Amino acid sequence: MALQLGDIVPDFTQASTEGPIQFHAWGEGSWVVLFSHPKDFTPVCTTELGTVAKLKPEFDKRGVKVVGLSVDGLENHGGWAADIEETQGAKLNFPLIADTDRSVSSLYGMIHPNASDTLTVRSVYIIDPNKKLRLTLTYPASTGRNFDEILRVIDSLQLTDGHKVATPANWQQGGDVIIVPSVSNEAAKDLFPNGWDEQKPYLRVVPQPA
């Protein structure tokens, strides 16, 4: 059965470029972004790994660990890492899992037979500190992933976990947010003493909480 939002993600132990990873223990207490690649030495994924390496300080700032996965072995990962540094100007600074037996790919439903019966699709999983799946995205082979969007979603998840708000379309850090419908106006007066813009009874807009 496919992983669904809110599920506890499966644990696994697998080799990586930074040594064996026992996934639940490795990610303990942190947000985690796991993203898969169909194979090593693929052009779009090369640019993605370089982009994530450059963005790692942004993930670190949010308390997020990032980890990549490919079905090729560690010997290939090493050569690919050198290519990434040469072409993207960024050294691989997070682990890349070698899922040669496809056990993780199978656990997480990364293989879609109509796309390929052996290669993983290019999926992204955002996992919270309680090991629950909070977002999944699957991209076609031809389209590079937008990691600024991944950071935006993490910002939204972390904000809305701490406050009774939701973020509107195209929200960016610092933008106005929406009071969730489960909060009554009476309760909202305590939570948002400076008031709100009630565009509709169900659409109450407030500045982003600090």
The whole-angstrom separation of Cα 116 and Cα 136 is 19
Q: What angle do CA 122, 123, 128 make, to 5 degrees?
A: 155
Task: Please name the helix (run of DSSP H) or strand (run of DSSP E) that holds residue 197, with its range, or none.
Answer: strand 197-200
Q: CB of 120 within 8 A of CB of 34? A: no
Instruction: Identify the residue whose tokens are 């132990």.
Output: 13
Which are the contacts of 65, defined by CB distance < 8 A and separation ≥ 6? 26, 27, 30, 31, 32, 33, 59, 94
Instruction: Identify the residue whose tokens are 């050294």.
Output: 91
Q: Which residues are catalytic?
A: 45
